[in-house]
Amino acid sequence: MTQTKIGIINVTGYAGVELARLLHKHPKVKLGSITGRSAAGQKLADVFPHLADIDMTITAELGEVDFAFSAMPHKASAEVILPLIKGGIRVVDISADFRLKDADKYPQWYDFAHPASELLQKAVYGLPEFHRTEIAKANLVANPGCYPTGALLALAPVVKENLIEPDIIIDSKSGVSGAGRTLSLSTHYTEAVDNVRAYSVHGHRHLPEIVQELEALNTRFVPSVTFLPHLVPTSRGILSSCYAKLKKSTLTEGKDKLLKIYTDYYKGEPFVRVVDKPPETKQAWGSNLCLVYPTVDVRSGRLIAISCLDNLVKGAAGQAIQNMNIMLGFPETAGLEALPVYP
């Protein structure tokens, strides 16, 4: 059986190494090329001993492949992707470089002028639960951010059905791996352990993609979103608690009706699991699942929607592979069937 030859650009980051781990056992593909300029010339197993079964050398430049993932930082990702797209290679980009449709937002949120603004309208936002049909036809898919994935999946049913008021609060807590492998004082062990801190209080760069996708879900809905992320002393996982005022008709129908709305909305989705009690980050560790728990705070008349996911799997590499599966016509769950790791 012929397998599709896959390339990973920047395998040495957390998302890149997670891609290598998951793709190694994928039944339809094989790794053909892995890059990482800081580790070029080294064996993957020497850099990451847990991947000793993958007998490959890291190179500075991508070799000949049929399909590529870019796990480069923002701006640098767009620059390496452009020649691939021109050469007919289909790509999933894990950076933020093609998530936003408005090029003017990149200087504001990412501090660079977009080098390929003409591709922004052609790139498909890679949240399969929203854009599966478009993903299947796409040459370039922009993998969503980890925070937006959890927040959007928690809010989508009530936004789509116009069941909440537009004032939304998203309170998210992420493990330290979300900051990547680049050294910084705030993610040193002694700074992060036994500590919880809020950051990007005046605007996180994932906010515009959350707003963009909520608006796309329901053109009648004009969201006003407060998004506040927190760093917590764990390696993986994101828990997002989302709050919004429920419309009176929804409030009178109660929690059971709300749970049914969510269950019906995500019926048949392989990686969204609507649960009947608040989920925990460890319940999603190592898996491509997003756990969603909706309920009603009767005293305040608010929706509380909680989501949990592994920021390196459904929040990055796993979702990227889910997108690849859709693009290449593979079973959507291929290579992603692993259950969560516990404890």
Burial of 193 (0-12, 13-18, 19+ CB in 10 A): exposed
Closest CA to 179 of 142, 205, 214, 210: 205
Q: What is the DSSP string of 270-304?
A: SSEEE-SS---GGGTTTSS-EEEEEEEETTTTEEE
Q: What is the DSSP string of 179-232?
A: G-SS--GGGSHHHHTT--EE--TT--TTHHHHHHHHHHH-TT---EEEEEEEE-
CA distance 170 to 81: 32
CA distance 266 to 291: 11
- Active-site positions? 146
Cα dihedral sign, 281-282-288-293 = negative
Report the run of H or E that residue 142 belongs to, with start and end: strand 140-142
Bridge partners of residue 227, in order along the sequence:
170
Tell the residue number behind the tokens 């008709």, with chain if given.
249
Burial of 191 (0-12, 13-18, 19+ CB in 10 A): middle
CA distance 152 to 215: 11
DSSP β-ladder status, 140-142 and 4-9: unpaired
DSSP state letter for 236: S
CA distance 201 to 77: 26
